[in-house]
Structure 1
Amino acid sequence: MSRFYQQINHDIVSTKNRLHRILQLTFPEIEGLFSATDSPHYWELLTIVPHAIITRRSRQALMDTIQGGISWHIGHQRLCKLVDQLMSMGQISAPAVAANSYNVAQVIYYAKRLIELHGTKGDILTAMVDKAKDLPEYSIYQSIPGFSDKTVVSLIAELGDLHRFRTANKLNAFVGIDLRFNDSGDYKSTGFITKRGNSTARKVLFRAISNIASTASYGHPSHIND
């Protein structure tokens, strides 16, 4: 499940990149509508407003279109603000393709695909947590500041039972972060990691350490980060 989760993650990144490229032709300004372009709300909105020309309808017509097309609740005040932002963006936008271009269908396809992938990713994570929550290492990993459920179950999946490694060096070798030195004569190298081990575990660990450092910088210091 962990490997499938990583695969879905990769698919999401690829699909987001493709969506970004197509949006440059139909409505590039809409990417600035929300603070992030990786939410299901944003993708669902793209299925309704895939081209800038749609924002040039009457204000009420655009409000009705969005209100009737989204699955999430939005208050009247928030809807008005959203529509005003879209109309302002539409006024300055200069689409490179017509509203009936096949690129518009691509925007809708990629947006729907991202919603589907996001849902699948959530389902996999829920299933992994359900299987891992009774393991003794689950609560230990969770006690580390910066470790989310995603990080914890990914580490458990990739590293397995740590008791099978007699030393930390053996675990380092399994992950591929053990050091190699290319010394010659008087030359002494500083060393570099071998990268021979589990590349997926190495990637998960890199992100986990980044999370620890980020959490420590935002007011949650820990001796592990130190």
Structure 2
Amino acid sequence: MECIFGIDVSKATANVSILVNETFIKEFKIENNNPGYQTLENELNGFTEPQIIFESTGVYSRSLRAYLQRNNWQYTEINPLKSKIDMASFRHDKTDALDARGLALAMKKQHYKPTYQQDPAYSELHDLERTYQDYNEDVVRAKNRLHKALQLTFPELEHVLSKTDGVLYWHLVERFAHPALVLKYDATELANQVLDATPKNMGIKRALKIANRLLELAERCASSVPVNAHAVRATMYFATEVERLDGLKNAIITEMEETAKGLEEVKYILSFPGIGIKTTMCLLGEVGDLRRFHSANAVNRYIGIDLVRYESGDHKMKRGISKRGNAYARKILYRAIMNIVSAARYQPSNVSVYYQNKKQSAPTKRTKLITIAAIGRLIRTLYHLVINNDYFDPKTSLAGQ
């Protein structure tokens, strides 16, 4: 006897349809809480090895998934796009109850495999990574606001160091948001202020160089506002906020490292030249356990770099990537390629050589296209390392290049 539970999950409730052989024997609605799940549990216990299917609906389906995992039930969590395609032949109207029925019928027709149940560490990494991305977006906004505020108070200050980033720069902005706050000191006093502002060891020679540069920029600046203006206080605040958010980002990465200590693949991914701990943590947070994919091409589809083409009559559209997958993972891997190419000077790899060969053979080809192709090469390599529990070997990887 084949028994299928089709569950349509919404924000606060879930509709359940029980299909036994060819007949729907029961339909009911539960709340997404412990009493509701206990009702579902009672029904599940009435059958031997029931099949369970529901759509992945983001945070709404997380509660049901967690409950099923805690109680050791196998389930199939299906992508909504796939379920829509598979249910198209027998679903005409759309209601929650009909969707639950449709899921059960799709399971009976397609015989989906149970979803691979990952180590709970991956779910925690995913939540941490999304928080990291939120902080990253907040940092970008705060930096933009800091730049805007500095244009009123002391725009030249952005040239005091080689880059407008890092704790030393933010501390200098907090202390010297207006040229008048610089000009009240001489070079020696300013050097002591610089030494006090940096959390790292710095020699007096470098501190004096920065102090003299500050004095030069302050004398050149024609500020738009007086030293007691609100814009000066706003500039100081934004510098403090950027530093605070950057500290939160670093704390998230540290927590992700602690969470991933028991995951074997971390050391294999880190063995690839140009991939550091931050990239590894973020990638695992978005992609999860690579072993749950049946091939590297499946990973490509998951992150949305699988190629699609369109033909209609004589019209042929240029092939491109689907972009239907995980956008965060695409962004992480795109930046990873840039790091791999930068590291190639000292540690070349099959991916960096592939990237450089493509750039040389087709210099007019857009960098983005070449980078996407390199991402595909990187995914195949990382997938191989994780599946085979193997470290990256430069000699083996470069042998076929």
Q: Which residue is 2:319 aligned to?
A: 191
Name the one with the larger helix percent.
1
In 2, Cα distance between equivalents of 1:76 and 1:116: 27
Q: How do residues 98-109 of structure 1 correspond to structure 2 at under 5 angstroms?
A: 98-109=226-237
Indicate the SS of the match to 1:183.
strand
The alignment of Structure 1 onto Structure 2 pairs a total of residues equal to 225
Q: Which residue is 2:399 aligned to?
A: none
Q: How do residues 169-208 of structure 1 correspond to structure 2 at under 5 angstroms?
A: 169-208=297-336
Residues 158-184 of structure 1: CA deviation (Å, up to 9, x unaligned): 111112111222211111111221112
Name the one with the larger strand percent.
2
1:48–1:65 Cα contact (<8 Å) kept: no
Segment of structure 1 superposing worse, 160-169 or 186-195: 186-195
Larger Rg: 2
Equivalent residue for 2:142, pick from 11, 15, 18: 15
Structure 1: tracts of 5 or more residues without a match: none
Residue 31 of structure 1: how far off its partner (Å): 0.6
Q: Which residue is 2:216 aligned to?
A: 88
> Whose RCO is larger (CA < 8 A, sep 6+)?
1
Residue 188 of structure 1: how far off its partner (Å): 3.3
Residues 2-61 of structure 1: CA deviation (Å, up to 9, x unaligned): 111111111111111110111011111111111111101110111110101122224068
In 2, Cα distance between equivalents of 1:178 and 1:221: 26
Q: Which residue is 1:48 aligned to?
A: 175
Structure 2: tracts of 5 or more residues without a match: 1-127, 355-401
| Amino acid aligned to 2:233 | A
Indicate the SS of the match to 2:351.
coil
Q: Which residue is 2:164 aligned to?
A: 37
| Amino acid aligned to 2:239 | A
Q: Which residue is 1:221 aligned to?
A: 348
| Amino acid aligned to 2:156 | E
1:148 aligns with 2:276: yes
Segment of structure 1 superposing worse, 12-21 or 162-171: 162-171
TM-score (norm 2): 0.53
TM-score (norm 1): 0.92
In 2, Cα distance between equivalents of 1:105 and 1:76: 29
Structure 1 residues 178 and 28 mapped into 2: Cα distance closer, same or farther (>3 Å)?
Answer: same
Residue 68 of structure 1: how far off its partner (Å): 8.4
Q: Which residue is 2:59 aligned to?
A: none
In 1, Cα distance between equivalents of 2:341 and 2:204: 40
In 2, Cα distance between equivalents of 1:224 and 1:126: 28
Structure 1 residues 65 and 142 mapped into 2: Cα distance closer, same or farther (>3 Å)?
Answer: closer
Aligned Cα root-mean-square deviation (Å): 1.9
Q: Which residue is 1:121 aligned to?
A: 249
